[in-house]
Each structure stands twice: as C-alpha cells, then as structure tokens.
C-alpha cells in the first residue's frame, strides 16, 4: 500500500493506517533529528511531537503532496524550535553527550564512521547542518529540500557546499588522527 493510500485511510479515521506510516518513516525521522540536535533523547521527543502534529494535521494534507516531504517539513520546523528553545542546550554531537546513545556499538566500523561524522559536524550551524543532512544524508533533490525548508535552491546549494567543505576538512583531519 502506498503512503498516499495509507494517508487516505488515516484521514478516514483508521489509526492503524497512520501507525503503518509511522513504522515506515520513524527511523528516518529519528536519524535526521539525532543528527540535527545531537541528542538522542531530545531527538525522540521531537519526533514524537512531529508525528502527533502530523496526525492532528492530516486534514490539511493535500493528496498531490508526497507524505515524506510533508512529514519532513514538520520535522524540520520542530527541530528548529527545539534547537532554539530558551532552555535548549547548544547543538552538540552524539559523541559529546550520553556516549553510545546515538551511536551503534555493534559494528566497529559503523561506530567509527558515525563518531567521525558527528565530530566533523561539530560547530556547524543549524542552517548549514540542515541543508547538508537533507542533501547528503537523506539524498533529497534540491527542489525537494527547498519545499521542506522554505529556502531557495541557489541558497541551498551554497549552504551544502560550505557545509561539505567544512565537514570534509574536519573529517580528513580526524581520519588522519585515527590512522596515527
């Protein structure tokens, strides 16, 4: 069953259909929020808020829209709100906070890669991090990211390039240190 069919059933009152959508998209949402916020627990809260908001707003969903970009638009807004909360802690990386919380430990290579990416993204502001993660992490097209973030395509391309240059430079430093 497609996302659109599940949405139609959920709008008609079938809660199970919305649960199927959650099962389909939760992992991607949690992954995005964890990389944006650098905090596994806060990421889970934000994803729950996102899903609740999406559920309450199903009436505003247009059939011509794709569900995933629509959901990510809500998620991006919730991440921005979470990052800007008065009591929010500064953007941190998973390795700084609660070691292991957002990091897979069952595969050494995976752990090192995740850790290196987290460290390489340290210090990157939310706007550049958001563009970078949506483009390189999620693999979305620029037009799709523009609809999600509200930014123009040229601005997004610039953000991704700057973020990529900064992250790659740091990544290579870290890789070099790891080999020594």
Partner 1 sequence: MNGDDRWDDDVRVAYQLPIEGEEQARNRAIRRLRSESVTRRRGMGAWWVDPDALRMPPALAAACVLAVLVIGAWSGAAWMATRGGRAPLLSIATLPSGSTAVTFVFRAPGATRVSLVGDFNGWDPDATPLARATTGEIWTAQIPLEHGLHAYAFVIDGRDWEPDPSAPLAPVATFGRRNSLLVVGEDQAL
The residue ranges that bind partner 1 (CB under 8 A) are: 12-13, 15, 18-19, 22-23, 26-27, 30-31, 34-35, 40, 43-44, 47-49, 51-53, 55-57, 59-60, 73-74, 77, 100-105, 107, 110, 113-114, 116-117, 133, 136-137, 139, 167-168, 171
Query: Cβ 107 to partner 1, closest distance in Å?
Result: 8
Residue 41 or 153 with smaller CB distance to partner 1: 41
Residue 1 or 107 with smaller CB distance to partner 1: 107
Task: Give the residue among 34, 28, 35 at the shortest CA–CA distance from 51.
Answer: 28
CA distance 150 to 77: 10
Query: Cβ 33 to partner 1, closest distance in Å?
Result: 9
Query: Cβ 44 to partner 1, closest distance in Å?
Result: 5
Residue 65 or 155 with smaller CB distance to partner 1: 65
Task: Give the residue among 48, 39, 164, 175 at the shortest CA–CA distance from 103.
Answer: 39
Contacts of 103 (CB under 8 A, 6+ apart): 94, 95, 111, 114, 115, 118
Residue 87 or 180 with smaller CB distance to partner 1: 87
Concatenating the DSSP letter of every residue in 130-155 gives: HHHIIIIIT---HHHHHHHH---HHH
The b/e string for 59-98 (b: 16+ C-beta within 10 A; e otherwise) is: eebeeebebbebbbbbbbbbbeebbeeeeeeebebbbebe
Query: Cβ 110 to partner 1, closest distance in Å?
Result: 5
CA distance 122 to 148: 23
Query: Cβ 104 to partner 1, closest distance in Å?
Result: 5
Residue 61 or 127 with smaller CB distance to partner 1: 61
């Amino acid at each position: 069953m497609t996302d659109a069919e599940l949405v139609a059933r959920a709008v008609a009152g079938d809660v199970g259909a919305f649960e199927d959508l959650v099962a389909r998209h939760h992992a991607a949402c949690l992954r995005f929020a964890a990389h944006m916020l650098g905090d596994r627990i806060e990421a889970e809260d934000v994803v729950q808020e996102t899903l609740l908001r999406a559920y309450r707003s199903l009436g505003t969903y247009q059939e011509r829209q794709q569900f995933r970009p629509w959901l990510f638009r809500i998620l991006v807004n919730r991440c921005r709100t979470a990052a800007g909360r008065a009591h929010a802690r500064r953007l941190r990386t998973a390795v700084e906070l609660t070691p292991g919380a957002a990091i897979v430990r069952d595969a050494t290579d995976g752990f090192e890669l995740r850790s290196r990416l987290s460290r390489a993204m340290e210090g990157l502001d939310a706007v550049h991090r958001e563009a970078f993660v949506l483009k390189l992490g999620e693999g979305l097209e620029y037009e799709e990211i523009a609809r999600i973030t509200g930014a123009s395509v040229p601005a997004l391309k610039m953000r991704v390039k700057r973020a990529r240059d900064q992250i790659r430079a740091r990544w290579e430093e870290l890789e070099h240190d790891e080999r020594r």
